[in-house]
């Protein structure tokens, strides 16, 4: 949810800004100074002052999101709780000898905590991004990590960042606060959901460039869906899909081509084993089997929701992201009218598949995926031809 501010009343906004500012500048640095916590960003926050608070973007009981400046660049700081002591500690740390716990036992502890949080078992080598080399203040180091491991989103970003281009990059941490890259989130009220000017540059904001950008972003959404469905040991289910939970990262590889779609809020993301546990609840009807954007069907014979999800990530993205784009007159005359009709129909069928048997949901989703990918690529070619024709006309006029 970062990149956007909620709209609390002025009193609450003032309190949250003051509270989070004091937490960073006083409590966090006091705990760092007394050796309670540590992290690779603590020196910048508390000593050199190269990590500075700017404003509170989101503040509620379960999440604090802060915009900060780090060495001249905007970053986002996140934590579930404000105060370090509000996290469950490791009571045995104070009794440990100076040599501490063997490294293999530490990695096992971390892997078990990750398993409890994500609902799946990871090999020890996968937890490498979570546990850096043991430093001189290893007790504070472990206590700080333990507070971070109680934040599911931090684990997702840390574990996936080396194997996925579709999640936020973790920059570092200090105690229980962790920093991620700053990206501008989408907005449901934005005419194109995402700032196309940010994606392709203000100088390329003509109607055809916007149409090209939307098609390219749509393709990146499909790439992300395919990646989350197939590239991990289990599918990753997204149960809170809305523009505000995604952003576009510009990798500066090709001018005027938007970068990748990035999931910036994964509080409601679950790998398959945990998704099945969440869905398999008691029920008296299908309405009892809905968990935000993820749902299953109620088995009236045993009064239990099915463990298998009855919709897909792609289906929800078609409904909440693609439908607003492809029910509009995309790009004016840049995309042919027959192609616009095909896109609208394909997106509608993807969002509301006409299937009754849940066992067909995956094959139907795969068909929608292939159809949309093909239509987006054909649309790209149409737009490219249209741009070349415009360039040719301009050259002719100049000569």
- What is the tens place of the pLDDT at every residue in 47-76? 999 999 999 998 887 889 999 999 999 999
pLDDT above 50: residue 7? no
Q: For all residues of the chain together, what is the average pLDDT? A: 85
- Write down the CATH number for the domain with range 185-386: 1.10.510
Q: Are 223 and 260 in contact (CB under 8 A)?
A: yes
- The answer to whether residues 295 and 309 touch, using CB atoms and an 8 Å cutoff, is yes
For position 101, what pLDDT does the model report? 79
The answer on pLDDT for 387 being more than 80 is no
Amino acid 42: pLDDT: 97
Give me Rg for the CA atoms of the chain. Answer: 24
pLDDT attached to residue 336? 85
pLDDT digits (tens, 9 = 90+) for 15-55: 456 556 666 778 899 999 999 999 999 999 999 999 999 99
Residue-level pLDDT at 388: 66
pLDDT, tens digit, for every residue of 245-280?
A: 999 988 644 444 557 999 999 999 999 999 999 999
pLDDT at 201: 54
Q: What is the pLDDT of residue 269?
A: 97
- pLDDT cut 90: percent of the chain above it: 57
Supply the pLDDT for residue 12. 43
Average pLDDT over residues 116-140: 79
Confidence check: pLDDT of 14 > 70:
no
176-232 pLDDT tens trace: 999 999 999 999 888 789 887 665 555 455 777 888 889 999 999 999 999 999 999
* Domain ranges for the chain: 16-90+100-182, 185-386
Asked if pLDDT for residue 356 goes beyond 60, the answer is yes
């Amino acid at each position: 949810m970062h990149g956007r501010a909620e709209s609390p009343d002025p009193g609450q906004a003032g309190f949250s800004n003051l509270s989070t500012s004091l937490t960073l500048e006083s409590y966090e640095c006091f705990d760092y100074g007394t050796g309670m916590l540590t992290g690779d960003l603590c020196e910048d926050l508390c000593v050199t002052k190269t990590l500075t608070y700017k404003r509170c973007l989101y503040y509620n009981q379960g999440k604090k999101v802060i915009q900060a400046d780090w060495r001249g660049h905007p970053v986002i700081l996140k934590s579930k709780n404000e105060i370090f002591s509000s996290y469950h500690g490791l009571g045995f740390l104070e009794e440990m000898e100076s040599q501490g716990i063997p490294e293999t036992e530490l990695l096992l502890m971390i892997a078990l905590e990750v398993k409890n949080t994500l609902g799946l078992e990871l090999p020890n080598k996968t937890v490498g991004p979570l546990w850096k080399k043991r430093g001189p203040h290893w007790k504070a180091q472990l206590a700080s990590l333990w507070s971070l491991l109680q934040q599911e989103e931090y684990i997702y970003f840390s574990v996936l960042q080396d194997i996925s281009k579709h999640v936020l990059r973790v920059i570092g941490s200090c105690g229980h606060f962790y920093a991620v890259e700053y990206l501008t989130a989408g907005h449901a009220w934005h005419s194109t959901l995402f700032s196309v000017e940010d994606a392709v540059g203000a100088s390329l904001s003509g109607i055809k460039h916007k149409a090209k950008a939307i098609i390219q972003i749509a393709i990146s959404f499909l790439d992300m869906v395919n990646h989350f469905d197939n590239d991990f040991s289990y599918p990753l289910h997204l149960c809170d899909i809305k523009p505000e939970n995604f952003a576009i990262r510009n990798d500066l590889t090709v001018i005027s081509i938007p970068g990748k779609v990035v999931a910036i809020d994964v509080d409601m993301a679950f790998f398959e084993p945990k998704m099945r546990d969440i869905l398999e609840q008691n029920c008296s009807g299908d309405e009892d089997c809905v968990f935000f954007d993820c749902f299953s069907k109620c088995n009236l014979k045993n009064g239990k929701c099915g463990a298998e999800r009855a919709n897909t990530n792609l289906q929800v993205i078609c409904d909440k992201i693609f439908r607003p784009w492809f029910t509009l007159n995309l790009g004016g005359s840049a995309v042919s009218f027959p192609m616009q009709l095909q896109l609208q129909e394909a997106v509608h069928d993807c969002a509301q598949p006409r299937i009754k048997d849940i066992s067909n949901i995956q094959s139907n989703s795969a068909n929608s995926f292939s159809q949309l990918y093909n239509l987006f690529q054909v649309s790209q070619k149409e737009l490219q031809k249209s741009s070349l024709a415009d360039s040719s006309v301009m050259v002719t006029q100049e000569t």
